[in-house]
């Protein structure tokens, strides 16, 4: 005969069964009162709810996930937490998903596909109902993991062919548009400052090159590329490199506003007049860009909206509906200000 004492592992937490005993009903009925209130009589439901409140019952998500094979959670992977571009993305995601009862498992990859793979592996153990991921530069193993798990996945920020779900903008087009703007202003020796060198930066660079090429204004000396993470301080440093390498440069397209702000601050320090001596353009339209002196010409990107729409698309996929369109281009805007 068994003399084992039952394990008590739930840390003293009240369980469904205890609520049931307290009310004089069964666990499954309490479960229904919580998840499908309309299927339980008003009288019983009222007593259950009061017991839940007085006993301080909290559902156990692990048990629920195990029994139902749904976790009500979505994994969201972004390259960096310390870049407001991506935290705004997260806010759009959160505003949609929280309203539908999902939790977000946030992971930042530090711009590393290997780190991303490790995070995906870790988060798949939680059986997320969906995955939101930034860009398309996943490792083969990551792609394999995602497809094997059959989790619906929506990519953010960039766009690809219609074999994947994505919400974003054409980074290449945006790079091209900004360069065209500078050309239309009459600048001809247009440099490019690139940091981090993630895929989106490289696409902007390609757009920049294409625009210059089409205008017969190739200017290779004006390209400064540095894989270091972007920052204002790096912008200061790269401007120094540029001025040595291409002193006749008359306009500078920075791959993002952080670099551009650093450039503006350093120009001010060195007494370089912007835009008269050097025009400066950025990318992303961060909060500071509209207020700095001179105000910064940049590309406005709809980060919040991208997160919002990507979450909405994922919501459809999780309901086994087919989103239409499957690839959503939310565009960008060239915001012309004083610096060009």
Partner DNA sequence: TTGTAGGCGTTATCAG
Partner DNA sequence: CTGATAACGCCTACAA
Instruction: Catalog residues that contact a second copy under the rule CB under 8 A.
Output: 9-13, 56, 58-63, 65-69, 71, 81-82, 84, 87-88, 90-91, 94, 103-106, 108, 121-122, 124-127, 144-145, 148-150, 231-233, 236, 258, 261-262, 265-266, 268-269, 287-288, 290-293
Q: Which does 106 bind (CB under 5 to 8 A by kind): DNA, a second copy, none?
A: a second copy
As measured in angstroms, the least distance from the Cβ of 129 to DNA is 13
Q: Which does 138 bind (CB under 5 to 8 A by kind): a second copy, DNA, none?
A: none
292 and 282 in contact (C-beta within 8 Å)?
no
As measured in angstroms, the least distance from the Cβ of 93 to DNA is 24
Nearest by Cα to 91 from 274, 269, 302, 283: 302
Which residues are at the interface with DNA (CB under 7 A)? 2, 4-10, 13, 15-17, 25-29, 31-32, 34-35, 38-41, 43-45, 57, 59-60, 63-64, 66-70
Largest CA distance in the chain: 93
155 and 78 in contact (C-beta within 8 Å)?
no
As measured in angstroms, the least distance from the Cβ of 328 to DNA is 31
Q: Which does 141 bind (CB under 5 to 8 A by kind): a second copy, DNA, none?
A: none
Taking the C-alpha atoms of residue 306 and residue 323, their distance in angstroms, rounded to an integer, is 15
Q: Which does 87 bind (CB under 5 to 8 A by kind): a second copy, DNA, none?
A: a second copy
**Phi and psi, residue 132, nearest 5°:** -115, 130
Give 253's strand partners.
192, 281
Taking the C-alpha atoms of residue 119 and residue 142, their distance in angstroms, rounded to an integer, is 9
Nearest by Cα to 191 from 216, 208, 171, 210: 208
């Amino acid at each position: 005969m068994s003399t084992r004492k039952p394990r008590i592992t739930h840390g003293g937490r009240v369980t469904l069964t205890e609520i049931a005993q307290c009310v004089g009903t069964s666990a499954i009925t309490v479960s229904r009162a919580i998840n499908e209130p309309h299927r339980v009589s008003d009288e019983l439901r009222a007593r259950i709810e009061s017991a839940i409140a007085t006993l301080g019952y909290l559902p156990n998500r692990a048990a629920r996930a195990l029994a139902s094979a749904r976790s009500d959670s979505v994994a969201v992977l972004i390259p960096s937490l310390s870049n407001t571009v991506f935290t705004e993305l997260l806010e759009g995601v959160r505003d949609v998903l929280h309203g539908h009862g999902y939790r977000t498992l946030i992971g930042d990859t530090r711009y590393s596909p290997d780190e991303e793979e490790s995070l995906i592996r870790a988060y798949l153990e939680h059986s997320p109902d969906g995955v939101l991921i930034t860009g398309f530069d996943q490792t083969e193993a990551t792609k394999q993991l995602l497809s094997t798990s059959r989790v619906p996945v929506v990519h953010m920020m960039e766009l690809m062919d219609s074999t994947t779900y994505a919400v974003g903008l054409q980074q290449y087009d945006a790079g091209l548009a900004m360069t065209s703007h500078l050309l239309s202003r009459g600048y001809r020796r247009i440099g490019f400052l690139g940091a981090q060198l993630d895929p989106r930066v490289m696409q902007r660079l390609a757009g920049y090159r294409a625009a210059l090429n089409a205008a017969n204004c190739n200017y290779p000396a004006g390209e400064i590329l540095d894989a270091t993470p972007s920052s204002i301080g790096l912008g200061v440093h790269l401007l120094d490199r540029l001025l040595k390498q291409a002193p006749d440069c008359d306009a500078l397209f920075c791959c993002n506003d952080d670099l551009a702000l650093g450039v503006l601050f350093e120009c001010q320090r060195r007494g370089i007049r912007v835009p008269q001596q050097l025009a400066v353009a950025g990318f992303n339209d961060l909060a500071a860009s509209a207020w700095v002196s001179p105000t910064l010409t940049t590309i406005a990107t709809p980060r919040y909206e991208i997160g919002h729409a990507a979450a909405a698309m994922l919501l459809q996929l999780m309901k086994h509906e087919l989103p239409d369109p499957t690839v959503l281009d939310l565009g960008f805007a060239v915001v012309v200000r004083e610096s060009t």
